[in-house]
Amino acid sequence: MSDEALIVLENVNKWFGPLHVLNDVSLSVARGEVVVVIGPSGSGKSTLCRSINRLEPINSGTITFDGKPLPAEGKALARLRSEVGMVFQSFNLFAHKTILQNVMLGPIKVRKEKSVEVRERAMSLLDRVGIGNQAEKYPAQLSGGQQQRVAIARALAMQPKALLFDEPTSALDPEMVGEVLDVMTSLAREGMTMVVVTHEMGFARHAANRVVFMADGQLVEQAAPAEFFANPKSDRAKDFLSKIL
């Protein structure tokens, strides 16, 4: 495995019509690193996340993943999407499929893996996120926190090189936030490369290697969590922290 960063964005710009949503963003994420992205609503955090697995094409600049520029289409793009898992605020599970089927679907359909092998891996992932005993249920029979843990198992079933999380706990009732953050924290400790957009500052403090603060499409400041929370440098970061802490 090489030392080069796994995810590298250089001078990335993205517009939605006249709106400059990513303004010259440069960021690199090392293998095994956990980067938490914070910032006000509308600052471009989701767009940044989505640009990394090319759910959003960018207008200028470059993004490389594992040493290669992001592919624009076809099989290479499908491979990229399987290597960069994404977990959204809304869990997006298939309602008419069981929990186990939800986790098995990607590896079978996209990666053409054998069902026996995928089943074994899916069951062990469901155990790992604490849902092993619910495998035959349907999503609606599970709580929000359980469904989000299934969504994480589903992303892991593709054996991704990195995981992107876009506000994974924002849609959850407060009592379910902890169980999802616990799964994410253990993934972080096991060395998964993660980019996490979240308002959970406890997670940022304890699980992140680096905090990146965005405002108005710009990456305003980045630092180790202890440094960032103790000593934010920009006025915008100070203002943001004063409102949420």
Give the footprint of ligand ADP on this chain (CB under 6 A).
16, 19, 21, 39, 41-47
Of the two residues 46 and 134, which places its CB atom closer to ligand ADP in the complex? 46
User: Measured between alpha carbons, how far is 9 from 47 in angstroms, rounded to an integer?
Assistant: 13
Strand 60-65, strand 19-29: pairing: unpaired
Which segment (46-54, 71-79, 130-138, 178-186) binds Mg ion by CB under 5 A?
46-54
Contacts 24+ apart (CB under 8 A), 115-120: 118/157
Q: Does 102 bind Mg ion (CB under 5 A)?
A: no
Q: Which does 202 bind (CB under 5 to 8 A by kind): Mg ion, ligand ADP, none?
A: none
Contact 103, 157 (CB under 8 A): yes
Q: How far apart are the first and last CA of the chain?
A: 39
Alpha helix segments (H runs only) across 43-173:
45-52, 74-83, 99-109, 115-128, 144-157
Of the two residues 22 and 131, which places its CB atom closer to Mg ion in the complex? 22
Of the two residues 16 and 94, which places its CB atom closer to ligand ADP in the complex? 16
Contact 46, 166 (CB under 8 A): yes
The contacts of residue 189 (CB under 8 Å, 6+ apart) are 207
- State the nearest-atom distance from the C-beta of 200 to ligand ADP, in Å: 15
User: Measured between alpha carbons, how far is 154 from 102 in angstroms, rounded to an integer?
Assistant: 7
User: Measured between alpha carbons, how far is 107 from 77 in angstroms, rounded to an integer?
Assistant: 15
- State the nearest-atom distance from the C-beta of 14 to ligand ADP, in Å: 9
Of the two residues 40 and 130, which places its CB atom closer to ligand ADP in the complex? 40
Binding residues for Mg ion, total number by CB under 5 A: 2
- State the nearest-atom distance from the C-beta of 48 to ligand ADP, in Å: 7
Which segment (39-47, 78-86, 95-103, 232-240) binds Mg ion by CB under 5 A?
39-47
- State the nearest-atom distance from the C-beta of 130 to ligand ADP, in Å: 28
Among 46, 147, 193, 218, binds Mg ion (CB under 5 A): 46
Count CA atoms closer than 13 A to 36's CA, side-chain side.
28
Contacts (CB under 5 A) with Mg ion, residues 125-164: none
- State the nearest-atom distance from the C-beta of 21 to Mg ion, in Å: 11
Of the two residues 41 and 242, which places its CB atom closer to ligand ADP in the complex? 41
- Separation of CA 97 from chain center: 23
Of the two residues 19 and 78, which places its CB atom closer to ligand ADP in the complex? 19
Which residues are at the interface with Mg ion (CB under 5 A)?
A: 45-46
